[in-house]
Structure 1
Amino acid sequence: MIRVAVVDDEPLARAGVVARLRGEPDVVVVGEFVDGHELAALRRHSVDVVIVDVQMPGRDGLDALATIPVAERPLAILLTAHEHFAVRAFELQAVDYLLKPIDDERFGEAIDRTRRQLRGQTMAATTRHFAIRVGTRLSFIDADDVEWIEADGDYAVLHVLGRRHLLREPLHTLARRLDPARFVRVHRSAIVRIDQVEELRPRPNRDAVLRLRDGTALRASRTYIETLLAALHRIA
């Protein structure tokens, strides 16, 4: 079982996270805490993962995590209503960074990412190639050649060197099989290979417009923007 502690000074927000975790069969909530001082006392031997609000009265979530020695620090999923903590969050090796109000699908992705990291199977679990069926023939596409992926109903479309390849798998399940160090979901309907992003233009509504190296323009929604920014920072 994955032992999770939830740290948030807002009772309703904390209850919402706990309710979501109850739907995960391999997760047990071992504690609920209200400030960074309690978070700083947690250690990996008693807790596998902390889901923590970044901004809390007194010591905030990031400062509290930083006080825990790396070898003893639990994995962390960070929550915030603000958008400017992502780079520091990933410097602290946070598993994921979720904006409030929490999107259920993004929450599920964060828990899946945590499972892979805990099991040490990230590389083994990721997809290295795709099998595309054309009639009775199978074609194989290397994941390293895929520039971006879009949803098409219950299918996904792989974009490779100007060509489209239909994959018989919905985008949300495909996202769980991709290497998170290389591919990032930027919208409910789009995943990009990080090194294909050439330009990011913020919009007033906190979304952004991406331009890929092949000239494709894609919308990045605020739900996913911070994970994308942190990923871009890592490869800069």
Structure 2
Amino acid sequence: MHVLIVDDEPLARRGIRTRLARHADVVCIDECRDGEEALTILLERDVDVAFMDVEMPGLSGLEVLHRLPVTRRPPTILLTAYDHYAVRAFEVNVLDYLLKPIDDSRFDDALARARSVFNLRSNAQTIDVDHAKRFIARVGRRDIVVGVDTIEWIEASGDYVGLHVGQKTHLLRETMHEIGRSLDPRKFIRIHRSTIVRIDRVAELEALSNSDCIVRLLDGKILRASRSYVSALRLALAQGAHE
């Protein structure tokens, strides 16, 4: 993936560049210090994913995206210190956004979403094959087939993850990172280091004073979304409402 970094703060650009360097399939093709510079590059060069600061001198990140023709807007991950851009971000097809200071786990989640979009554009059939359709849970001597479409939420449980299907919980010997990579990011999203939820099972969000969020599912189950994941969850819900 060819990535463009846009941020007026040198330390912020270096932080993104350092995190991207851990991924062998990513190449940072350029860095921009302001919106005008980013607009020029995005009009001239093909970019697979842009990491875009929202508030910059001159043009903001959202203004850059609004000024681009739709065909030139790359999948974009916004960088911001504020948690109130979800609706405006949806208008320009922002893929995700990261709250500063950036959480490493959230960064990897956002990059995984970008990778899925990149793969989908490269080869629509590949992304269907790559995403898990079912898991096999061991219960005594029995192997239980758990369809991904039946899973409502997933939680970390020691060396296992618990797949919650109705009133039942099926345990798999997997890490949250491993199972998160196998799921379709258009359907599932991480809301906490230890929790993944199916997006279309979310019924209600309730903001807390510490910027965390209470997540109520359709069956009444209460979960908690941590601050660094709330923005991406709101954006995913907004996108789903318009599909």
Are positions 1:228 and 2:233 aligned together? Answer: yes
State the SS of the aligned residue for 1:205: coil
Using the TM superposition, give the Cα deviation of residue 190 of structure 1 relative to its aligned residue in structure 2, in angstroms. 0.7
Aligned residue identity for 1:106:
R
Are positions 1:146 and 2:145 aligned together? Answer: no
Using the TM superposition, give the Cα deviation of residue 46 of structure 1 relative to its aligned residue in structure 2, in angstroms. 3.3
Cα distance between partner residues in 2 of 1:64 and 1:176:
31
1:172-183 equivalent positions in 2, closer than 5 A: 172-183=177-188
Query: Superposition RMSD on alpha carbons, in Å?
Result: 1.6
Equivalent in the alignment of 1:217? 222
State the SS of the aligned residue for 1:176: helix
Cα distance between partner residues in 2 of 1:152 and 1:118:
32
Equivalent in the alignment of 1:82? 82
More helix by share: 2
Indicate which of 184, 193, 201 corresponds to 2:206.
Answer: 201
- Of 91-100 and 50-59, deviating more is 91-100
Cα distance between partner residues in 2 of 1:77 and 1:204:
26
5+ long unaligned stretches in structure 2: 121-125
Identity across matched positions, percent: 50
State the SS of the aligned residue for 2:8: coil
Cα distance between partner residues in 1 of 2:237 and 2:27:
33
Indicate which of 190, 197, 200 corresponds to 1:185.
Answer: 190
Cα distance between partner residues in 1 of 2:74 and 2:35:
14
5+ long unaligned stretches in structure 1: none
Cα distance between partner residues in 2 of 1:70 and 1:123:
26
1:114-193 equivalent positions in 2, closer than 5 A: 114-120=114-120, 121-193=126-198
Equivalent in the alignment of 2:72? 72
State the SS of the aligned residue for 2:189: strand
Cα distance between partner residues in 2 of 1:234 and 1:5:
23
Using the TM superposition, give the Cα deviation of residue 133 of structure 1 relative to its aligned residue in structure 2, in angstroms. 1.5
Mark the CA change 1:83 to 1:157 in structure 2 (over 3 Å): closer, same or farther.
same
Aligned residue identity for 1:155:
Y
Mark the CA change 1:214 to 1:159 in structure 2 (over 3 Å): closer, same or farther.
same
TM-score (norm 1): 0.93
TM-score (norm 2): 0.91
8 Å Cα contact 2:7/2:32 also seen in 1: yes
Equivalent in the alignment of 2:48? 48
Q: Residue by residue, what CA displacement relative to the aligned partner does 1:108-127 show, whole Å, maximum 9, x if unpaired?
A: 12222222211214333222
